[in-house]
C-alpha cells in the first residue's frame, strides 16, 4: 500500500497474488489481509481486491482500477529495438541475463524453498497426485522437453518427452491420470496444438509453458506458466530456450517439494537460480574469444555436438542452432554413443564440440574425447573444469553450478558459436533460409 504526500487522505492498494480485503462501516474503511481484523467493527460492506487490481481508498470508500496493463498488453507493446546489435539473434543472446532474471522474478517463497507459480496454483492439489508427466514440443522447445524429462526423473518424478509431430501417430500409451505439459515459444505451433486437441479428447490435465501471452496454446491449456522472455525475433530460439529451462526448473522444484524434496534442497536450488544471470554474463564476456574460435573453426563443414546426460540435450540444441543459421552439417549425439557407429566419420576435418562439465561422469567423457583424438579428430570442449580439457584442441570455460542447472550455462557458448559461424559464412542469422519462426502448418 502506498500514500502520497500531497494526498494524505488517500491510500493506494495493489494486489499481486496476495489477499487484501476492504471493509467499510459508518466511520471508516479498513484494509486487512485477514477478515478477522474486521470483527470489532460493524462492517457493512466488504470487497476483496482481486489479483492485478489497484484501488484508491479514502474514508468514504474505495474505487477499483484494473491493472493498467495485462501481461499480454505488456508483451505486445514492448519495443523490440535492435539497439547496437547487428542482428536480433545477437541481441537476444546478450539479453539473456536480464531475461532470465525476469523469468524467475517474484516467483519464489524462499522460506519454504518453494517456487510460487500463480498460473498453476489452482491445479496444485491435482498435480500432487500425478504420477507421470509428458512434455510435448517441437524444435528447440522439444529439446527443453527432453531437459524437463531428465530433471523430473532426477527429482524422482516420472516423465518423458515427445516430439509433437510424432505423438498422435505413434500409438502413445498413457494413463488418464497423467499430466501433459506443452512447451512452445510462440504458442501457435500447429504440431503441438494437434497434440493438445488429442489430449483434450482424452481429458488429461494440460499445462502450458509458453512465451507469447494470449497465444493459442496459452489459451487452450488448462493452466500454465509464462516464461516472460519478451518478443523473440530471431528464427533460431535462444533466450526463449534458457527461459524455458528456468521455468522447467521452477515447475520441477514445485512438484518435487510436493513430494520428497526437502526445504533446504529447494532453497539451495533457488539460491543457485538467482546466481545464473551473473554466470551467463561471465560467459557473454568471453564472446570475442568465441568469435575468434568461430573464425578458426569455419574451415570445418561437418560437426558432432556431443555430451552425456543433461548435455546430450544441450548438444542437440547446439547442433540445431549451428545447422539452422549457418547451414553447416551438424549432428547431436550422446557422447558415450560415439563408439557405436559415429566414430567411423571421425577424421581431421570433422569437428566435435564436446560439452563436458566437471560432473560425476566427467572421467567417462574424457575417455570418449581420447577416442576421438585417437582417430585424429578435432575437439572443441566446453567445460567448467578450471584447468581446461587437455586432449581437446581448444576449450571454452564456463562457470560452475549445480550439475542439473549447468545446461542453462553450457548452451550459451553454443549459441554464440553458431551465431559467429553464421556471420563467418555471410548468412543472415535472423532469417535462415527455408525456416519460419512460427510454424502453423502440420
Ligand atoms: C520453429 C522455429 C524453432 C522453434 C520451433 C517450435 O521450427 O524455427 O526455433 O523451436 O518452431 O516453436 P515453438 O514456438 O512451438 O517453440
Q: Give the nearest ligand 1 atom to 141 CA.
A: 16
Q: Is the pLDDT of residue 68 over 60?
A: no
Give the pLDDT confidence score for residue 65 in this predicted structure.
80
Distance CA 66, CA 73 (A): 13
Q: Is the pLDDT of residue 29 over 60?
A: yes
Q: What is the DSSP string of 173-187?
A: ---TT-EEEEEESSS
Confidence of residue 373 (pLDDT cuts 50, 70, 90): very high
Confidence of residue 59 (pLDDT cuts 50, 70, 90): confident
- 77, with CB counted inside 10 A (0-12, 13-18, 19+), is exposed
Positive or negative torsion for Cα 152, 154, 159, 161? positive
Of 307 and 33, more confident? 307
Per DSSP, 349 falls in state T
Q: What is the DSSP string of 87-133?
A: SHHHHHHHTHHHHHHHHHTT-EEGGGTEE--GGGGGGHHHHHT--EE
Ligand 1 centroid vs 385 CA: distance in angstroms? 32
Give the pLDDT confidence score for residue 116 in this predicted structure.
95
Query: In order of start, what are the domains of the chain with their CATH numbers?
Result: 11-77 (no CATH), 88-282 (3.40.50.10490), 286-424 (3.40.50.10490)
Ligand 1 centroid vs 328 CA: distance in angstroms? 19
Residue nearest to atom 4 of ligand 1 (CA): 139
Q: Is the pLDDT of residue 333 over 80?
A: yes
Confidence of residue 64 (pLDDT cuts 50, 70, 90): confident
| 354 sits in which H/E element | strand 351-355
Confidence of residue 16 (pLDDT cuts 50, 70, 90): confident
Ligand 1 centroid vs 435 CA: distance in angstroms? 10
Confidence of residue 115 (pLDDT cuts 50, 70, 90): very high
Sort strands 351-355 and 329-334 into parallel, antiparallel or unpaired: unpaired
- 175, with CB counted inside 10 A (0-12, 13-18, 19+), is exposed
Ligand 1 centroid vs 185 CA: distance in angstroms? 7
Q: Is the Cβ–Cβ distance between 89 and 429 less than 8 Å? A: yes
Ligand 1 centroid vs 31 CA: distance in angstroms? 47
Ligand 1 pocket mutation, candidates 144, 218, 439, criterion most atoms within 8 A of CB: 439
Beta-carbon-side half-sphere exposure of residue 437 (alpha carbons within 13 Å): 17
Residue nearest to atom 15 of ligand 1 (CA): 184
Q: What share of the chain is helix, strand, coil (3-state, %, to 5)?
A: 45, 20, 35
Average pLDDT of the chain? Answer: 93
What is the pLDDT averaged over residues 102-127? 95
Give the pLDDT confidence score for residue 251 in this predicted structure.
98
Ligand 1 pocket mutation, candidates 93, 139, 235, criterion most atoms within 8 A of CB: 139
Q: Is the pLDDT of residue 74 over 60?
A: yes
- 386, with CB counted inside 10 A (0-12, 13-18, 19+), is exposed
Task: Tell me the H-state helices in 124-238.
Answer: 124-128, 139-154, 164-167, 190-202, 216-220
Q: Is the Cβ–Cβ distance between 243 and 227 less than 8 Å? A: yes
Q: Mind listing the pLDDT tens digit for each residue in 231-268?
A: 999 999 999 999 999 999 999 999 999 999 999 999 99
> Residue 353 corresponds to which cell in the numbers above?
564440440
The share of the chain scoring above pLDDT 70, in percent, equals: 98
Confidence of residue 1 (pLDDT cuts 50, 70, 90): confident
Q: Give the nearest ligand 1 atom to 435 CA.
A: 8
Q: Mind listing the pLDDT tens digit for each residue in 271-318?
A: 999 999 999 999 999 999 999 999 999 999 999 999 999 999 999 999
CA dihedral 160, 208, 49, 63 (to 10 degrees): 170
pTM: 0.86
For cell 570475442, the residue is 288
Residues in the chain: 442
Q: Mind listing the pLDDT tens digit for each residue in 35-44?
A: 777 878 888 8
Cβ < 6 A, ligand 1 pocket: 138-141, 184-186, 189, 192, 235-237, 435, 437-439
Q: Mind listing the pLDDT tens digit for each residue in 123-155?
A: 999 999 999 999 999 999 999 999 999 999 999
Give the pLDDT confidence score for residue 37 in this predicted structure.
78
Rounded (5°) CA angle 88-93-98: 110
Residue nearest to atom 7 of ligand 1 (CA): 139
Q: Is the pLDDT of residue 67 over 80?
A: no
Confidence of residue 17 (pLDDT cuts 50, 70, 90): low
Ligand 1 pocket mutation, candidates 437, 440, 441, 442, criterion most atoms within 8 A of CB: 437
| 284 sits in which H/E element | helix 263-284
Query: Of 49-58, 92-101, 166-175, 197-206, where does mean pLDDT reach its minimum?
Result: 49-58
Give the pLDDT confidence score for residue 5 in this predicted structure.
86
Q: Give the nearest ligand 1 atom to 137 CA.
A: 15
Residue nearest to atom 2 of ligand 1 (CA): 437
Number of Cβ within 10 Å of residue 219's Cβ equals 12
Ligand 1 pocket mutation, candidates 89, 92, 141, criterion most atoms within 8 A of CB: 141
Q: Is the pLDDT of residue 70 over 70?
A: no
Ligand 1 centroid vs 396 CA: distance in angstroms? 27
Query: Of 197-201, 429-433, 436-440, where does mean pLDDT reach its minimum?
Result: 436-440
Residue nearest to atom 5 of ligand 1 (CA): 139
Ligand 1 pocket mutation, candidates 438, 440, 441, criterion most atoms within 8 A of CB: 438
Amino acid at each position: 500500500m502506498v500514500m502520497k504526500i500531497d494526498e494524505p487522505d488517500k491510500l493506494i492498494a495493489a494486489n499481486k497474488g496476495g489477499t487484501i480485503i476492504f471493509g467499510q462501516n459508518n466511520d471508516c474503511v479498513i484494509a486487512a489481509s485477514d477478515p478477522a481484523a474486521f470483527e470489532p467493527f460493524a462492517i457493512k460492506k466488504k470487497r476483496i481486491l482481486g489479483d492485478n487490481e489497484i484501488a484508491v481508498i479514502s474514508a468514504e470508500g474505495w474505487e477499483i482500477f484494473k491493472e493498467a496493463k495485462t501481461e499480454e498488453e505488456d508483451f505486445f507493446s514492448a519495443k523490440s529495438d535492435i539497439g547496437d546489435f547487428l542482428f536480433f539473434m545477437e541481441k537476444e543472446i546478450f539479453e539473456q541475463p536480464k531475461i532470465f532474471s525476469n523469468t524467475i522474478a517474484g516467483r519464489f517463497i524462499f522460506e519454504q524453498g518453494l517456487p510460487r507459480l500463480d498460473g498453476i496454483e489452482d491445479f496444485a492439489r491435482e498435480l500432487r497426485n500425478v504420477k507421470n508427466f509428458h512434455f510435448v514440443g517441437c524444435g528447440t522447445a522439444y529439446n527443453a522437453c527432453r531437459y524437463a524429462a531428465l530433471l523430473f526423473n532426477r527429482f524422482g518424478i516420472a516423465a518423458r518427452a515427445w516430439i509433437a509431430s510424432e505423438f498422435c501417430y505413434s500409438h502413445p500409451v498413457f494413463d488418464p491420470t497423467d499430466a501433459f505439459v506443452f512447451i512452445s515459444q510462440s504458442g501457435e505451433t500447429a504440431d503441438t496444438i494437434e497434440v493438445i486437441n488429442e489430449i483434450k479428447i482424452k481429458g488429461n490435465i494440460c499445462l502450458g509453458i509458453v512465451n507469447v501471452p494470449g497465444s493459442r496454446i496459452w489459451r487452450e491449456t488448462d493452466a500454465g506458466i509464462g516464461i516472460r522472455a519478451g518478443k523473440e525475433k530471431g528464427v533460431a530460439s535462444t533466450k526463449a530456450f534458457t527461459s524455458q529451462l528456468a521455468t522447467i526448473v521452477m515447475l520441477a522444484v514445485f512438484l518435487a517439494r510436493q513430494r520428497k524434496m526437502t526445504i533446504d534442497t529447494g532453497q539451495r536450488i533457488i539460491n543457485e537460480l538467482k546466481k545464473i544471470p551473473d554466470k551467463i554474463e561471465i560467459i557473454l564476456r568471453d564472446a570475442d574469444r568465441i568469435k575468434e574460435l568461430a573464425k578458426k573453426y569455419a574451415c570445418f563443414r561437418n560437426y558432432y555436438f556431443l555430451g552425456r546426460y543433461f548435455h546430450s540435450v544441450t548438444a542437440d540444441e547446439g547442433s540445431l542452432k549451428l545447422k539452422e543459421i549457418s547451414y553447416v552439417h551438424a549432428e547431436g549425439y550422446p557422447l558415450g554413443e560415439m563408439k557405436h557407429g559415429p566414430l567411423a566419420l571421425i577424421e581431421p576435418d570433422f569437428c566435435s564440440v564436446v560439452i563436458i562439465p566437471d560432473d560425476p561422469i566427467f572421467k567417462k567423457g574424457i575417455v570418449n574425447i581420447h577416442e576421438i583424438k585417437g582417430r585424429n579428430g578435432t575437439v572443441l570442449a566446453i567445460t567448467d573444469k578450471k584447468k581446461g580439457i587437455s586432449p581437446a584442441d581448444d576449450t571454452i570455460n564456463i562457470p560452475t553450478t549445480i550439475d542439473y542447472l549447468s545446461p542453462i550455462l553450457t548452451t550459451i557458448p553454443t549459441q554464440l558459436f553458431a551465431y559467429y559461424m553464421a556471420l563467418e559464412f555471410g548468412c543472415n542469422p535472423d532469417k535462415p533460409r527455408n525456416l519460419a519462426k512460427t510454424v502453423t502448418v502440420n
